[in-house]
Homo-oligomer: A and B are copies of this chain.
Amino acid sequence: MTVVATRRSYRQFCGLAAALDVVGERWTMLLVRDLALGARRYGELLEGLPGIGEGLLAQRLRHLEAEGIARRTFSQAHGAVVYELTEDGMALFEALVPLTAWGLKRVDLDDDEGVKADWLAVALRARLDPLQTSGVEERYAFWVDDEPFTIAVGDETIAVERGEPEDPALRVDIDLDALMQIGAGAMSITEAREAGRTTISGDPKAISRYARLWTGIRR
């Protein structure tokens, strides 16, 4: 018979240790990252985490469910079972953004094996500062190659999702390689613009509000 799974715990009276007791094991935080961009099916998650064992993914999902971080629901849109973050799971993702920003400096540009637009959306979110929002509720269309993303801005909140927004206040187009180089600090936005790698179109005031969101980027 199976023995009771004695989860390994740091058992320290500390917020960081408590967080790591819950999401410190391999793949768990990346799973939260993938779910942060929207509801995902089991197969989509597998695809987004190359190298994870199938059994391990099932185990991690059950754990996130038990901890109230993710939720298993039936999606009309997908016509199938999907996993999505709870409110607390979203709060966790927000808490991971600074760590993501720190790690961005260490991304290996020459290792584009397995580049995915989704991961860039996360990187995108890590570079936008919710405190710079103007309070205006609006959405920006952000196209990376032929992949559309929505940047939804509200009062001190920013969400980045896959898909095209309705009624966008502006539209940004950029190719994947340029975005990678900008994110890693290897190219400035101005250089990308001059090289025709990116364009912005829309209401100038919206562009001004949008530009203010960016942090830690060479203009």
Residues of A within 8 A of B (CB): 10-22, 24, 26, 29-30, 33, 50-51, 91-92, 94-104, 106-108, 111-116, 119-120, 122-123, 126, 180, 183-184
Contact = CB atoms under 8 A, between A and B. Distances in A.
B99 A19 contact: yes
Interface centre among A16, A95, A113, A119 (most CB of B within 10 A): A16
Contact of A123 (B12, B20, B51): B12
Nearest to A92: B102
How many copies of this chain does one complex carry? 2
A103 B18 contact: yes
A51 B16 contact: no
A123 to B, nearest CB: 5
Interface centre among A10, A18, A101 (most CB of B within 10 A): A18
A219 to B, nearest CB: 20
Nearest to A122: B14
Contacts of A98: 94-98
Contact of A15 (B14, B111, B122): B122
B106 A19 contact: yes
Contact of A30 (B16, B112, B183): B16
27 contacts: A11-B51, A12-B114, A12-B119, A13-B108, A13-B111, A13-B115, A13-B120, A13-B123, A13-B180, A14-B30, A14-B123, A15-B106, A15-B123, A15-B180, A15-B184, A16-B30, A16-B99, A16-B126, A18-B103, A18-B106, A20-B30, A21-B103, A21-B106, A24-B29, A95-B98, A95-B99, A98-B98
